[in-house]
Structure 1
Amino acid sequence: MDVEAALEKFHSLKLSKIMPRPDTMPIVTADSDLLNVLKLLRTGHHVWVVKDRESMELVGYIRYMDVIDILLPLESHRFKLGITSRSMRSLLGGAAKAEDVADRHPLTIEEDATVLDALNKMRHYKSQVLAVVEGDRLVGEMSLRILIDEFLRLLRVGGARWKE
């Protein structure tokens, strides 16, 4: 198998075949204490926020970079006309639970989408991670890291070699 054939096979893979199981993903419930969320973010780039573990209804997500807003003092969020909505996402602004700081508009993709669909969406929105959903239920995730790992696995399994 050459690299072109490997890429073609890679692009046609369904996300459901390569996405991690929800029990291996960084997931918290909406009412999770913010300090527990921060502990999870020490070792990862994001945390998914769901309504509860039974429904797995996606509420949003919290990125590693969002920790800056959570930790900044209120004065850092102010501007001439008042306080920004980001101040409400600060510990000092009253945020205490995961739902208080979660971005309510995560990028989603259906589990029957292909790798090519995911790559195109990631490029269009300049995002490295997508929530894989079935309706409003979180059923998996797709990240650039997962896609790179899968592509490299395909090259090894297929014996593909880069041509110079």
Structure 2
Amino acid sequence: MSVESALEKFHSLKLTDIMPTSETMPVVTADADLISVLKILRTRHHVWVVENKESMKLVGVIRYIDVIDVLLPPEAHKFKLGMTSRTMRSMLGGAAKAEDIAERHVLTIEEDTTVLEALMKMRKYRIQVLAVVKDGKLVGEVSIRILIDELLRLLRVGGAQWKQ
């Protein structure tokens, strides 16, 4: 298989065919305490926040970089206009649960979408991971790392070689 045909196959793959099982995803419930969230973020770049494990209704996402707002004291966020949403995300500002610090505007993609569509959305919004949903429920995730792994798997299986 040539690199071109491997890429063609790669782009047409459905996300359901390549996304990891939901058991391996970093997921917490909305009422999870912040210590649990921080423990996950030691080894992951994000944590999905869901209403509960039964419904898996997506509430938001907490990214590794968002922890800065959680750790800073509330006064570090204050501007002339007073309180900001970031002030409320501070542990010292009262944030206690995952839902208190989760980013509610999560970029999602439907599970029957192709790799090419996922890549286009990632590029458009300059993000590295998308929540894969079905009827508002979190069913998986797709990240640049997952996509790289899948392309490398295709190239190895197909015996294609990169030529410079």
Q: Do the structures match in fold with TM over 0.5?
A: yes
| TM-aligned CA deviation for residue 163 of structure 1 | 2.1
Aligned match of 1:130: 130
Partner of 1:115: 115
How far apart are 1:135 and its partner, in Å? 1.2
SS of the aligned residue for 1:109 comes to strand
| 1:106 alignment partner, SS class | coil
Residues 100-135 of structure 1: CA deviation (Å, up to 9, x unaligned) = 000001110000000000000000000000000001
Give TM-score scaled by structure 1 length: 0.99
CA–CA separation in structure 2 for the residues paired with 1:85 and 1:50:
20
Amino acid at match of 1:51: E
**1:50 corresponds to 2:50:** yes
> Structure 2: 5+ residue runs without aligned partners?
none
Aligned positions of 1:56-95 closer than 5 A? 56-95=56-95
| Displacement after TM superposition at 1:45 (Å) | 0.1
For 1:18, the equivalent position in structure 2 comes to 18
Tell me what 2:152 maps to: 152
Aligned AA for 2:158?
G
Describe the superposition over 1:77-106 as per-residue Cα deviations: whole angstroms up to 9, x where unpaired.
Answer: 001121211000000110000000000011
Question: What's the RMSD between the two structures over aligned residues?
Answer: 0.6
CA distance in 2, matches of 1:82, 1:27: 33
Distance, in Å, in 2 between the alignment partners of 1:119 and 1:52 is 29
1:29 is matched by which residue type in structure 2? T
Measure, in 2, the Cα distance between the counterparts of 1:85 and 1:137.
26
2:92 is paired with a residue whose SS is helix
Aligned length: 164
Greater than 6 Å deviation, 4+ residue runs: none
State how far apart, in whole Å, the 2-side matches of 1:7 and 1:81 are. 50
Deviations 1:15-54 (A, max 9, x none): 0000011111000000000111011101110000000000
**Unpaired stretches in structure 1, ≥5 consecutive residues:** none
Which residue of 2 is the match for residue 161 of structure 1?
161
Q: Structure 1: how far apart are the matches of 2:26 and 2:47? A: 5
